[in-house]
């Protein structure tokens, strides 16, 4: 199994179980993301702690996740980055675009804070 998907109250955690997020794994990750988003999930944590290598296909899948969450007024958080993947994201300047957490707990906190912001801005709109 390439992914471990865990549905929680206000987010879905996707753990990539492969050591490589590349042309072999990224297309099925994109499919999973589209399915999850299609079910109404808007907050996604993508845990890459098992991933030691990521290529442009992997980055593309990460950006798909980010866009799906944004489009549904949700939050996407990336967590569990090893040095090589972290460097790739920094070189691609995606660290300026993505929410990156250093633990699943921190990722959950980011989602909770963003949810609170959305709730308070919805209250102001009424």
pLDDT per residue as tens digits for the range 18-30: 999 999 999 999 9
Tokens 């944004």, residue? 70
Architecture of the domain defined by 3-125: 2-Layer Sandwich (3.30)
Taking the C-alpha atoms of residue 58 and residue 1, their distance in angstroms, rounded to an integer, is 17
Tokens 């549904």, residue? 72
Q: What are the helix (H) ranges across the chain?
A: 26-38, 56-71, 83-91, 104-125
The structure tokens listed for 124 are: 């102001």
**pLDDT band at residue 122 using 50, 70 and 90 as cut-offs:** confident
pLDDT in tens, 37-66: 999 999 999 999 999 999 999 999 999 999
Question: What does the pLDDT read at residue 25?
Answer: 97
Question: What does the pLDDT read at residue 126?
Answer: 61
Give the burial string for 2-34 (b: 16+ CB within 10 Å, else e). Answer: ebeeeeeeebbbbbbebebbbeebbeebbebbe
Global pTM value: 0.95
Helical pair 83-91 and 56-71, crossing angle rounded to 10 deg: 70
Residue 123 has pLDDT above 90, yes or no: no
Arithmetic mean of pLDDT over the chain: 95
Residue 1 has pLDDT above 80, yes or no: no
């Amino acid at each position: 199994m390439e992914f471990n998907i865990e549905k929680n109250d206000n987010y879905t955690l996707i753990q990539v179980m492969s050591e490589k997020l590349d042309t072999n794994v990224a297309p099925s990750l994109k499919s999973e993301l589209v399915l999850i988003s299609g079910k109404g999930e808007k907050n996604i944590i993508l845990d890459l702690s098992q991933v030691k290598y990521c290529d442009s296909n992997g980055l593309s899948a990460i950006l798909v996740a980010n866009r799906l969450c944004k489009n549904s007024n949700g939050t996407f958080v990336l967590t569990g980055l090893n040095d090589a993947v972290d460097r790739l994201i920094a070189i691609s300047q995606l660290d300026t675009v993505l929410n990156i957490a250093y633990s699943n707990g921190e990722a959950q906190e980011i989602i909770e804070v963003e949810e609170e912001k959305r709730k308070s801005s919805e209250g102001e709109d009424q």
